[in-house]
Amino acid sequence: MKENDLQQYLYEHIPLSQAMQVEVILSSQESVLLAAPLGPNINHQETVFGGSASAVAILAAWSLVQVRLKQAGIKNDLVIQRNTMEYASPISGAFRARSRIEDADWQAFIRTLDRKGRARISVTSILEFDGKPAGRLQGEFVAFSRQD
């Protein structure tokens, strides 16, 4: 899925992404990289609101699974089951979230999804600010196969 297509999908199906002015920088099998400005995500301390940072990290992780499933031609419903978010430092400007999936995890996920019609996978997103890590999300996502 190309960057513009993914961004349009997010804006149409997850309207919060448009309100947060999330931009898709990279969309590939290896990683999804999203960016967001400070303005619509600011808090009372003039840094990024923790909920915004978490939302962008979740969007990057969810998007990577969605991109991979779409590329594999697997129709699905994909939801987040749980996540943990660690904040390493305040973010006082535009920031990014970069997601990744371990290849061994992906292969097991696909086998389970094929066999059972649903599967879970763990995805990591790293928040980046000023070229440095600023936080880390570990999310668990569940996909359900669809037959439409």
pLDDT digits (tens, 9 = 90+) for 45-85: 999 999 999 999 999 999 999 999 999 999 999 999 999 99
The CATH number of whichever domain residue 122 belongs to comes to 3.10.129.10
Domain count, the chain: 1
| Number of Cβ atoms within 10 Å of the Cβ of 42 | 14
Q: At what angle do helices 50-71 and 3-13 cross, to 10 degrees?
A: 120
In the prediction, which pLDDT does 1 show?
Answer: 84
* CA distance to 20, 37, 101, 130, per residue, from 43 (Å): 13, 12, 31, 18
Model pLDDT for residues 104-127, shown as the tens digit of each residue:
899 999 999 999 999 999 999 999
Model pLDDT for residues 5-17, shown as the tens digit of each residue:
999 999 999 999 9
Q: Is the predicted pLDDT of residue 148 greater than 80, yes or no?
A: no
| Number of Cβ atoms within 10 Å of the Cβ of 69 | 19
Q: Which run of H or of E encompasses 50?
A: helix 50-71
Tell me the whole-structure pTM to 2 decimals. Answer: 0.95
Domain that holds residue 45: 3-145
